[in-house]
Amino acid sequence: MFKKGNPYGTHRSTEPKGALPQPALKLDNTMEIYDNEILINVQTLNVDSASFTQINDQAGGDIEKIKEIMKGIVAERGKHQNPVTGSGGMLIGTVEQIGPALKEKTDLKVGDKIATLVSLSLTPLVIDEILAVRKEIDQVDIRGKAILFESGIYAKLPSDLPENLALSVLDVAGAPAQTIKLVKEGDTVLVLGGSGKSGLLCLYEAKKKSGPSGKVICWAHREITLERVKKLGLADICISGDATNATEVYEKVMKATEGKLCDLVISCVSRPSCEMSAILAAKDEGTVYFFSMATSFTKAALGAEGVGKDVNMMIGNGYTKGHADTALQIMRESKGLRELFTELYA
């Protein structure tokens, strides 16, 4: 007999009891499913960039220490929620069991290979063994199990794209989909961290939406990664520099925009303390979209106030309707981006 579960997974929260699973400190990660849950045999975790960067730094780049830290997080919390960044990531795996209350509500069947489109920071998870750590792409192969709640969204892995490529793209699917909603024709758009995974997808959609009268600026830390962006023609202006140095960003963007600054700034930087760089680069009454999970709401809110900047600030929502299809479609539309993502992530 299956126990009845809450659609949002509150039945799994043990500290505090009954809390929503993302803010909960600890989840019950026993892998006996409730009537409205899906059991997944996990193949790969795609740890979000801010979280993996922090874990890698903490481990000093040592693979065995990375494994130890990740297993420790799951042992303590019942989910992979980085205690420093608060963020998680996502996974791919195979459907092993579907609760009876869900069988009429889902198009899934046992044996389907899926990517979860909800954060690991709310997903009950067990790691039996870490098989491989791919530091350069934030991916970790494991033997383990996970639970998807009734409210959890997912994507069936497409047959025309390699699995690891699809996983990498789906992990940041919210970013390009939100970019489409935010960019208007003729806009000047800055993408901080534009040569990274989410940044490249944002540049692609910003270039399409802003059109020939728009201006797209890519900011990246290293000149070598900017070469990729230049080669693919994803930006009108490419700038290298330290995204944590707000004064440097402001001065270089002022020069690039002839003093006009940007209608939209998208922050995809995976390290903290880039809030003021994004804010200063935006026009008054412009928009700043913080997609990075390293963003501090406090720094952004008080920092904007402190410099008298009237900007609309959006916290990156990893979900917007149709985001999975949007992100995967980029891989089908852009031969250059698909080749680059295949080389880097697949």
Write down the pLDDT at residue 270: 85
Residues 6+ away with beta carbon under 8 Å from 313 = 279, 287, 288, 290, 300, 301, 304
Give per-residue pLDDT as tens, 133-150.
Answer: 999 999 999 999 999 999
In one letter, which amino acid is 92?
I
Whole-angstrom CA distances from 98 to 54, 90, 113, 139, 186 are: 35, 19, 13, 26, 48
Give the whole-number percent of the chain exceeding pLDDT 70: 100
Mean pLDDT over the full length of the chain: 96
Mean local confidence (pLDDT), 105-111: 94
Sign of CA dihedral 291, 296, 300, 301: positive
Distance between CA atoms of residues 178 and 322, nearest Å: 10
Q: What is the pLDDT of residue 80?
A: 98
Rounded CA-CA distance 154/12 in Å is 19
Alpha carbon distance 262, 342 (integer Å): 31
Per-residue pLDDT for 346 more than 90?
A: no
- Assigned CATH for 174-345: 3.90.180.10
Q: What is the pLDDT of residue 164?
A: 86
Task: Please give the biggest Cα pair distance in the chain.
Answer: 68
Tens of pLDDT along 233-260? Answer: 999 999 999 999 999 999 999 999 999 9
Per-domain boundaries in the chain: 10-157, 174-345
Q: Summarize the confidence of residues 35-53 as an average pLDDT.
A: 96
- CA Rg, the chain, in Å? 20
One-character DSSP codes across 156-176: EPPTTS-HHHHHHHHHTTHHH
Answer for the pair 146, 124: CB distance below 8 angstroms, yes or no: yes
Phi, psi angle pair for 10, to nearest 5°: -65, -20
Answer yes or no: pTM beyond 0.85: yes
